[in-house]
Amino acid sequence: MINEQKKHILMIATGGTIASKRGDSGLKPLITSEELLGYVPDAAKLCQADALQLLNIDSTNMQPKHWLLIAAAIEEHYDRYDGFVVCHGTDTMAYTASALSYLIQNSPKPIIITGSQKPIDLEITDAKTNLSDSLRYASCGRAHGVAIVFDGKVIAGTRGKKERTKSYNAFSSINFPYLATIQDGHIIFYLDDKDQLQAPVQFYHALDSRVALLKLIPSMEAGVLDYMAEHYDAVIIESFGVGGIPTHDTGDFHKAIERWVSAGKFVIMTTQVTNEGSNMSVYEIGKSIKQEFGLLEAYDMTLEATVTKLMWILAQTKDPARVRELLYRTVNRDILFTSKW
């Protein structure tokens, strides 16, 4: 009778450090999904877990086609499981968590992304704790939606960012509080709002990968924007401070953006600063060009959320008004500042 009450969780393995073994050329994902579960035998007390080997790659090689593959696997098995745990490499985990947030919306079932800084087969590793915590959280009836579970923290899928390359506390929640923490086997919720879900779960099946990123540096020439316009539908410009476009005596950036907008392509402004977001209206150097061209702005969204949200939007529409509407619509807690100007 106890077993019948346990949640049924599907663990989807995609590779990453958590599944890696050391070889002559360095760490490489080799551990299978079944083997991963074997390293956390106590998970049987938490849930009934099944394993699915979907990929076994370094997350550096993760692409939009893989995000679609993960989302499709979850959709295929959605009705048969109470929750999902995706084991993933840390380097692009925040991108995958954001992408899944847009591909799978309003899910009453938890979809958890986790990984580790050290392989699970080592004696000293964070992998076993992270996987166990993820299975615990995915088995909780109050959990829902896409989230990252890492180092005892539960982070909204659109708010995670890897800020440390080696430490166990690699991920932070940017411009948004943690959803919960997990301590000594107990889940402490800070945001407990599953009862506010109203719309049914919705799956999406397309992404437009023709989205580029340009990080400004003081010596950059605007010609790079013209080159990018030949290959991409949208460019995200990481500017300085709260945001602005260099004026330069030649006005090259102004002219390049004008060509982008005239061609029906999209320019989205954001900031290189991790916390607190952009606001182009503060300084004349940002406000004037934003108003002239009606530029979109990421505000408090993370870069990872901005990139993947644009891919999701542009796969649906290229209509400027519709793109603006969808960008400023909150999905899985991704944006608080929703003013259109």
119-167 pLDDT, tens digit per residue, is 999 999 999 999 999 999 999 999 999 999 999 999 999 999 999 999 9
Q: What is the per-residue pLDDT for 103?
A: 98
Q: What is the per-residue pLDDT for 283?
A: 57
For residues 165-176, average pLDDT: 97
Average pLDDT value over all residues in the chain = 92
Bridge partners, residue 214, by sequence: 237
Range of the domain at 226: 211-327
> Are 190 and 222 members of one domain?
no
User: Number of structural domains, the chain?
Assistant: 2
Q: What is the per-residue pLDDT for 228?
A: 93
> Are 267 and 317 members of one domain?
yes
Strands 211-215 and 234-239, how do they pair? parallel
Look at residue 167 and tell me if it is in a domain: yes
> Are 232 and 153 members of one domain?
no
Look at residue 90 and tell me if it is in a domain: yes
Look at residue 192 and tell me if it is in a domain: yes
> Are 193 and 221 members of one domain?
no
| Listed residues 178, 203, 228: the one ending a domain | 203
User: Which residue, among 58, 133, 122, has the nearest Cα to 88 in the 3D structure?
Assistant: 58
Looking at residue 78, which CATH number applies to its domain?
Answer: 3.40.50.1170
Residues 135-146: b if buried by 16+ CB within 10 A, e if exposed:
bbbbbbeebbbb
> Are 126 and 262 members of one domain?
no
> Are 161 and 269 members of one domain?
no
How far out from the chain centre does Cα 144 lie? 16
User: Which residue, among 121, 123, 104, has the nearest Cα to 112 in the 3D structure?
Assistant: 104
Look at residue 334 and tell me if it is in a domain: no
Find the Cα–Cα–Cα–Cα dihedral 29, 103, 231, 290, rounded to 10°: -120
Percent over 90 (pLDDT), the chain: 79
> Are 59 and 154 members of one domain?
yes
Annotated catalytic residues are: 17
How much is the pTM?
0.94
> Are 189 and 159 members of one domain?
yes
